[in-house]
Amino acid sequence: MFSVTVRDHVMVAHSLSGDLFGPAQQLHGATFIVDATFRAPDLDPSGVVVDIGRAGEVLTALVGQLTYRNLDEHPAFAGMNTTTEVLARWFADHLAENAAAGALGRPGHELAHVAVTLHESHIASATFERDV
């Protein structure tokens, strides 16, 4: 299996409901490093998994939808905690949609899956992986 990873970062504000989250129940800022990994069993005729430039552009566009936003007010996250895991799934779902539509320079059916890892610090991250 081949893979290609592109990276960006997103800065958001949010709060997390529930005693489990202690002080994070208060509105606070967070910066996440976003790694998006695309996997395919074979390379395309050009010798790539996806076009890295296009993959980076798609990821940057998704990051732009959340950057400097209060996620507590974002309609996509209504009624849920915007944990690192939830955000990783949001990115993976949207990247898979773009991949399926061919936005990464390769027919989506040729890709196996996408994985998104959000690094919330240098010691903690969460990943969500799904088929394209």
Rounded mean pLDDT of the chain? Answer: 97
Q: Tell me, what amino acid is at 122?
A: H
Q: Express each pLDDT in 81-124 by its tens digit.
A: 999 999 999 999 999 999 999 999 999 999 999 999 999 999 99
**Contact predicate 33/118, CB 8 Å:** yes
Q: Express each pLDDT in 64-73 by its tens digit.
A: 999 999 999 9
What's this model's pTM, rounded to 2 decimal places? 0.96
Count, residues in the chain? 132
**Contact predicate 12/78, CB 8 Å:** no
